[in-house]
């Protein structure tokens, strides 16, 4: 969200969309910086603990090796340096190069930033599908996401202010992802996820003796 919001801010300098959306992006940057600091201040110390290696911002099942340990650095400084360099490069392009006048470049900023934001639910969707369960993911969070999507789409398609199609298309995709999360709650529930459908879950909950009686 931090990178996506920064891209949306620079997108505004080339495509002067709704000021309300710009304000939202700026506010999100501030909130994400606070969350980043809290996460870094409270992360487990690098090293071994109970035989398990603790790597910042990594899951127990994360088997992918990221180039240069991206966003898994052991020290705090690289996170802020990355953001500073990222903003610096975008500022240099906008202020000192003619590419900032290119509609293709400006639209690329918008679509890239909004695509990052729109695909944020995908890791949760994939995790739920692999485990056949929504355990650990609260239904209230999913409901809030869907409600937010409905309100966002309503604003994008009814507002009299300038709303680029990048916002609308990415919001539609995100709404589909969040809606599918709701479907996963209906399919899997928040249990262990051994069954993949409501009928299978119902059958798995029937005691063995009762199953045998029905089979006879």
Domain positions in the chain are 1-41+65-191
The confidence band for 214, taking pLDDT boundaries of 50, 70 and 90, is: very low
The confidence band for 191, taking pLDDT boundaries of 50, 70 and 90, is: low
What is the predicted pLDDT for the residue at 210?
A: 41
Cα–Cα dist 90/17, whole Å: 19
Model confidence at 135: pLDDT above 60:
yes
Model confidence at 52: pLDDT above 80:
no
The confidence band for 83, taking pLDDT boundaries of 50, 70 and 90, is: very high
Predicted structure pTM score? 0.77
Tell me which of 102 and 43 has the higher pLDDT.
102
- Averaged pLDDT, 168-179: 95
Contact residues for 183 (Cβ-Cβ < 8 A; gap 6+):
none
What percentage of the chain has pLDDT greater than the value 70? 79
The confidence band for 106, taking pLDDT boundaries of 50, 70 and 90, is: very high
Contact residues for 17 (Cβ-Cβ < 8 A; gap 6+):
11, 161, 162, 163, 164, 167
- Averaged pLDDT, 76-104: 94
Query: Burial of 32 by CB count in 10 Å (0-12 exposed, 13-18 middle, 19+ buried)?
Result: middle
Model confidence at 44: pLDDT above 90:
no
Kindly report each contact of residues 101-104 with a partner whose C-beta sits within 8 Å and lies 24 or more positions away, as own/partner.
103/14
In which residue are the tokens 């029937």 written? 206
Model confidence at 209: pLDDT above 50:
no
């Amino acid at each position: 969200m931090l990178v996506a919001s920064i891209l949306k801010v620079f997108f505004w300098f080339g495509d002067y969309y709704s000021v309300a959306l710009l304000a939202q992006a700026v506010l999100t940057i501030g909130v994400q910086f606070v969350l980043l600091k809290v996460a870094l201040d409270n992360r487990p110390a690098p090293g071994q603990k109970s035989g398990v290696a603790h790597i910042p911002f990594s899951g127990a099942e994360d088997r992918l090796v990221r180039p240069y340990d991206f966003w898994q650095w052991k020290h705090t400084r690289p996170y802020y340096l990355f953001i500073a360099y990222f903003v610096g490069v975008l500022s240099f392009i906008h202020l000192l190069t003619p590419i900032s006048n290119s509609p293709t470049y400006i639209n690329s900023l918008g679509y890239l930033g909004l695509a990052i934001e729109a695909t944020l639910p995908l890791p949760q969707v994939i995790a739920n599908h692999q485990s056949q369960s929504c355990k650990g993911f609260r239904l209230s969070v999913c409901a809030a996401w869907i409600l937010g999507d409905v309100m966002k789409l309503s604003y994008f398609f009814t507002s009299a202010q300038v709303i680029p199609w990048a916002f609308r298309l990415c919001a539609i995709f995100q709404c589909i992802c969040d809606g599918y999360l709701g479907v996963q709650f209906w399919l899997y529930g928040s249990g262990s996820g051994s069954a993949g459908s409501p009928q299978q879950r119902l059958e798995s909950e029937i005691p063995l003796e009762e199953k045998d009686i029905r089979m006879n």
